[in-house]
Amino acid sequence: MAGGVGSRFWPISQQSHPKQFLDILGTGKTLIQMTVARLKRLVPEEHIYILTNSKYSDLAKEQTGFPEERILKEPVMKNTAPCIAYAAHKISALNKNANLIVASSDHLILDEEGFVRTVNVALQHAGESGDIVALGIVPTRPDTGYGYIEAGISLRLKKSAPDSGIFKVGRFTEKPELAQAKKFLDAGNYFWNSGIFVWRCDTILKALDEFQPGLNLLFTSNKYNSSSEQEFVNRAFESCQSISIDYAVMEHAKNVAMVAADFGWSDLGTWGSLYTQLPKDKDSNAVTGKSVKLSDSAGNIVHVPHDKKVVIHGLNDFIVVEANGILMIVPREDEQKIRELSKYFGE
């Protein structure tokens, strides 16, 4: 899934060129390129599909080299449930026995070996049981920016070791207040909802039909993989409601399992989440930029072009970003206001 605008990463991420198509980490690869490389370790490249807004389809093609038929174009942004319904119906028309891995294009995963092992466990369980499988991240702090999954009883696969790390899901909780997040962390059986899901095609289509029959009907057609597909999909997206897969299916379904995961994951949703992943100097400053000098400053994240010379003195716990002709300076504790601040320049 590569259709978001990444507004909380403004000003580097803009509607015309959102964060999944940027080299935010300074690795020489954009986030979507890193995601494709990671998934190629699990499936052949020709089995990978990108879903993105139609205005980003050229960017997706340019950065991945994928052919048109594997870049699925959404005419309008309607959140993740319509996106997943589209993909599930299209792929089911090609292979009704397919297993699906649903992943976002803008996540950071440090331990790719661990990611591959975890997803393979999820694929095996989804294939054998018909469960909807979510990947739950072992939490490291009481973060209020993530949803949480309550792990219930342990489940075992026929061919898996007893400690396969698969649990029946008790409930999903959207982004909690800090006090609640601390309770989740203390309880020990709550995990961050990574937004990475694994299921069989027939499993997710059955769930959509049960919990979102109107949405599912809109995307049911014999026009997939034909010259009429895009016209049909455009009409379906224009007519459907905007709803996340969490609200549409995950919070209602009973056959939901979770695989516990610990592979250095971050959804890179905010500058603060990026700060936790970047290397830091002795004063806990995380700097991207080759000519940045800090004096009597601590706890900052600084992201500027490599040719920009920057001197910062006496600044603590701030976000300093220059990109696209815009300089932004915001206290780290106010990062949730960045989406609102972006409106000053028409984003």
What are 96-107's pLDDT values in tens digits?
999 999 999 999
Residue % of the chain over a pLDDT of 90: 74
Q: Is the pLDDT of residue 188 over 60?
A: yes
For the chain, give every domain's residue range: 7-269, 272-345
Q: What is the pLDDT of residue 318?
A: 97
Q: Does position 192 have pLDDT exceeding 90, yes or no?
A: yes
pLDDT, position 295: 97
More confident residue, 268 or 216: 216
Among 2-6, 29-33, 241-245, 324-328, which stretch is predicted with the lowest mean pLDDT?
A: 2-6
Average pLDDT, whole number, for the chain? 92
Task: Give the pLDDT confidence score for residue 158 in this predicted structure.
Answer: 47
Average pLDDT for 33-48 = 96
Q: Report the range of poorest mean pLDDT among 14-18, 45-49, 111-115, 248-252.
A: 14-18
pLDDT of residue 90: 97
pLDDT for the residue numbered 156: 55
Mean of pLDDT values over 235-245: 96
Q: Tell me the pLDDT band of 346, cut-offs 50, 70 and 90.
A: low
Q: Which tens digit of pLDDT belongs to each residue from 133-180?
A: 999 999 988 988 889 999 988 775 444 444 568 999 999 998 889 999
Task: Give the model's confidence band at 24: pLDDT under 50 very low, under 70 low, under 90 confident, else very high.
Answer: confident
Q: Residue 319 has what pLDDT?
A: 97
When mean pLDDT is compared over 179-188, 210-219, 283-292, the highest value belongs to 210-219
User: What is the predicted pLDDT for the residue at 163?
Assistant: 52
Return the HEC string of the chain: CCCCCCHHHCCCCECCECHHHCCCCCCCCCHHHHHHHHHCCCCCHHHCCEEEEHHHHHHHHHHHCCCHHHEEEECCCCCHHHHHHHHHHHHHHHCCCCEEEECCCCCEECCHHHHHHHHHHHHHHHHHHCCEEEEEECCCCCCCCCCEEEEEEEECCCCCCCCCCEEEEEEEECCCCHHHHHHHHHHCCEEEEEEEEEEEHHHHHHHHHHHCHHHHHHCCCCCCCCCCHHHHHHHHHHHCCCCCHHHHHHCCCCCEEEEEECCCEECCCCHHHHHHHCCCCCCCCEEECCCEEEECCECCEEECCCCCCEEEECCECEEEEEECCEEEEEEHHHHHHHHHHHHHHCC
Residue 344 clears pLDDT 70, i.e. is over it? yes
Higher pLDDT pick, 269 / 159? 269
Q: For residues 333-345, give the mean pLDDT.
A: 87
pTM reported for the whole predicted model: 0.87
Q: Does domain 7-269 have CATH number 3.90.550.10?
A: yes
Under the banding of pLDDT at 50, 70 and 90, the label for residue 87 is very high
